[in-house]
Every structure is written in C-alpha cells, then in structure tokens.
C-alpha cells in the first residue's frame, strides 16, 4: 500500500514511462508539469496546439523542442479534440489540460463517440500528505473541481471514483467520511441527510470496497481525540482517508487550505473517464505537478 508521496513516486517510476497528451500545449503550467515528470522518467509527451507558441515556451524552459511530437492546431477546440482522440486510440495514456478551457476539454472528453466517456461521472480527487499521520499519510478531498452541487446519485459516484483511486494505491478498504458542518443528522441541513443515506447504503453492502460514515464534521473525521470528546462511535471518525465534501466550494476551499495554510504537499487529478485527466493550476508548485502526473501514471495502468 502506498502511504506517502515518496512511495507514490517510486511506484510510478517502477511502472515505466507513460505518454501524456497535452491539449493546448502552448501553456507553461502544462509543459512544466510534463517536464517535471519527464526528468523523473515518468512520462513523455505529445503536444497538441499552436506549434510556434509551444516551441517558444519550450525554448524558454531550455528544452529542445525536437524531444516532443508536436501537432499544430490553429484553434483550441481542434487541439483539444485531437488530444482526446489520441488518448482514446491508446496512443497516449494520460490527458493533460493546457491552454484550453475546462468546459471545452470536458465536452471533448464526454463526447459519446470520440471521447473518453465511461458509465461513471467525472470527479476531481485532490490528495494531500498529512505529515502528522502515523500510517497512511495520504488523504483525499473530493470533489472540488467538477461537480458544483452534486445530488445523491452523483455523490455516490464521487465516492466510488475516490475509492477506485484508493484501491489503485493499494488501500483495499479506505475509510470514507461524508463531511458536513455538523456530525448530527439535521433535516434542515441537506448535506447531513445525504450523508446518512450514503452511510447506510454502505452498511447494507450497496456501496462496496470501503467503510463509509457520515455526517461528520472535519474535527471528528480527522482527529481521534475530537471524535472521542464528542462520543462518536464510528469506524471512520478520527481516521478518515477520503473526505467527501457536500459541494464544490467546500471541497475546493478545504483542499486549498491544506496547501496555503497547513503547507501540505498535494497532487490532483480527474477520475471517472477511461484515462486519467490532469488539470494543472498555474499556482501548483513543480512538486504538485510532478505528483499529479505520478497519480496519472498509476491510474493509467488500470484504464476505467
């Protein structure tokens, strides 16, 4: 089982080099993510976009453009569709967003004929390393990137995508906390009601491969002492490994707090398509970009 980011990187390296297709590759954040991963032997790239702009950025990053297959496209949509198609045909393993709008990328990915669609919902998984944890230090937060206000069915699929990722990291029965502002079920707070329903579905064997509890507040999900003080009897409380937030704002704010306040390392990717999708942020550190590609490498070995 992969319990920290050093283990993640060694494991990804042991799997051999994978091919990353960049949609709109004239983008420094995207190219630098690829270059970080290339230095570590994790990935090579196929670049789709404005050739002259791509070459200019590669040169500014002191990399020989000849090292990459570059396919020239004048427009964002064409470059994106071609990158997606390349992954769909198995000529690349990981899709990486460059200078293209997320909406354009997701539209191409979700195209029933030419995309990377599966029966699953797409959802974002943000993973951070909590140095204070003793065993498994990798904790996921979802979904802070794709689904704005998921309904019950969508939340279940978000859980399943995160559980899939945990399984791929060797965690065969991750502990899932469905977060809200409180740990009691309150009909006036819909997120607590959804949490209670999903937890019961897990208990009845309708959602497998994980142990789910909720509603939980952050304190009692991640801190054993807090759970004890509140008298919460739960197999998840205090040691949750997947934190499922009720909406995009809570997941996104919580995830960013781990980076900007707590100073934890991170990686992130989109699950649920037939190949992993990476959306590097301009604000991501080189380390975060590298770790995100490492997640992509590991996930790409079991296409969904």
Among 51, 117, 230, 303, binds a second copy (CB under 8 A): 230
Please identify which residue in 6, 56, 151, 260 interacts with a second copy, judged by CB under 8 A.
Answer: 260
Site for a second copy contains 17 (CB under 8 A): no
The correct pick among 50, 80, 171, 191 for binding a second copy (CB under 8 A) is 191
Identify the three-state secondary structure at position 189: coil
* Cβ-proximal residues to 47 (8 Å cutoff; 6+ apart), any chain: 22, 25, 31, 54, 68, 69, 70, 71
Q: How would you classify the pairing of strands 138-142 and 123-129?
A: antiparallel
Asked whether position 14 contacts a second copy by CB under 8 A, the answer is: no
Q: Which of 89, 113, 148, 204 binds a second copy (CB under 8 A)?
A: 148
Contact status: 253 vs a second copy (CB under 8 A): yes
Q: What are the distances in angstroms from CA 46 to CA 17, 35, 147, 206, 298?
A: 13, 12, 28, 41, 19
Interaction residues for a second copy, span 25-84 (CB under 8 A): none
Q: Does 259 bind a second copy (CB under 8 A)?
A: yes
Q: Which of 210, 231, 209 is nearest to 220 (CA)?
A: 231
The residue within the footprint of a second copy, chosen from 32, 100, 157, 180 (CB under 8 A), is 180
Residue 225: CB minimum distance to a second copy, A: 8
Specify whether the CB–CB gap between 50 and 77 falls below 8 A: no
Nearer to a second copy (CB atom), residue 88 or residue 97: 97
Stretch that binds a second copy, among 34-42, 54-62, 204-212, 242-250 (CB under 8 A): 242-250
The reply to whether 234 sits near a second copy by the rule CB under 8 A is: no
274 to 293: interface string for a second copy, x by CB under 8 A: --------xx----------
- Residue 266 phi, psi dihedral angles, 5° rounding: -150, 160
Question: Tokens 């992969």 label which residue?
Answer: 2
Which of 130, 173, 201, 209 contacts a second copy by CB under 8 A?
A: 130
Q: Closer CB to a second copy, residue 13 or residue 247?
A: 247
Helix (H, G, I), strand (E, B) or coil at 39: helix
The window from 113-121, 151-159, 185-193, 196-204 that contacts a second copy (CB under 8 A) reads 185-193
Looking at the Cβ atoms of 206 and 285, the one nearer to a second copy is 285
Q: Strand order in 94-97's β-sheet?
A: 69-72, 43-49, 18-23, 94-97, 277-278, 266-271, 123-129, 138-142, 242-244, 175-179, 211-216
Round to whole Å and give the CA distance between 59 and 65.
7
Q: Is 154 in the site for a second copy (CB under 8 A)?
A: no
CB of 283 to a second copy, least distance (A): 5
- CA-CA-CA-CA dihedral for 280, 286, 292, 296, to nearest 10: 100
- The window from 50-58, 110-118, 216-224, 290-298 that contacts a second copy (CB under 8 A) reads 216-224
**Residue found by looking up tokens 């859980």 in the block:** 159
With a CB cutoff of 8 Å and minimum separation 6, the contacts of 260 are none
Which residues here bind a second copy, judged by CB under 8 A?
A: 130, 144-145, 148, 179-182, 188-189, 191, 217-220, 222-223, 226, 229-230, 245-254, 256-264, 282-283
């Amino acid at each position: 089982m992969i319990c920290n980011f050093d283990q993640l990187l060694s494991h990804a390296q042991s799997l051999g080099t994978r091919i990353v297709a960049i949609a709109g590759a004239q983008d420094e954040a995207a190219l630098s993510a690829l270059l970080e991963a290339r230095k570590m032997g994790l990935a090579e790239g196929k670049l789709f976009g404005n050739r002259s702009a791509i070459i200019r950025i590669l040169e500014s990053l002191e990399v020989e453009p000849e090292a990459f297959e570059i396919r020239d496209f004048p427009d964002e949509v064409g470059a994106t569709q071609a990158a997606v198609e390349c992954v769909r045909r198995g000529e690349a393993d990981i899709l990486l967003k460059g200078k293209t709008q997320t909406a354009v990328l997701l539209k191409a990915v979700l195209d029933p004929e030419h995309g990377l669609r599966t029966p699953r919902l797409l959802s974002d998984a943000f993973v951070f390393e909590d140095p204070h944890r003793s065993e498994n230090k990798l904790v996921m937060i979802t979904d802070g990137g794709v689904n704005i206000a998921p309904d019950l069915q969508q939340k279940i699929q978000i859980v399943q995508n995160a559980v899939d990722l945990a399984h791929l990291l060797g965690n065969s029965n991750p502990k899932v906390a469905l977060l809200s502002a409180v740990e009691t079920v309150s009909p006036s707070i819909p997120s607590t009601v959804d949490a209670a329903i999903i937890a019961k579905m897990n208990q009845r064997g309708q959602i497998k491969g994980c142990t789910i509890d909720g509603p939980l507040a952050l304190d009692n999900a991640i801190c054993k002492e807090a759970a004890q003080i509140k008298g919460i009897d739960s197999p998840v409380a205090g040691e949750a490994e997947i934190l499922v937030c009720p909406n995009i704002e809570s997941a996104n704010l919580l995830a960013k707090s781990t980076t900007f306040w707590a100073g934890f390392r991170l990686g992130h990717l989109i699950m649920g398509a037939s190949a992993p999708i990476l959306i590097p942020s301009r604000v991501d550190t080189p380390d975060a970009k590298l770790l995100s590609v490492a997640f992509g490498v590991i996930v790409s070995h079991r296409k969904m």
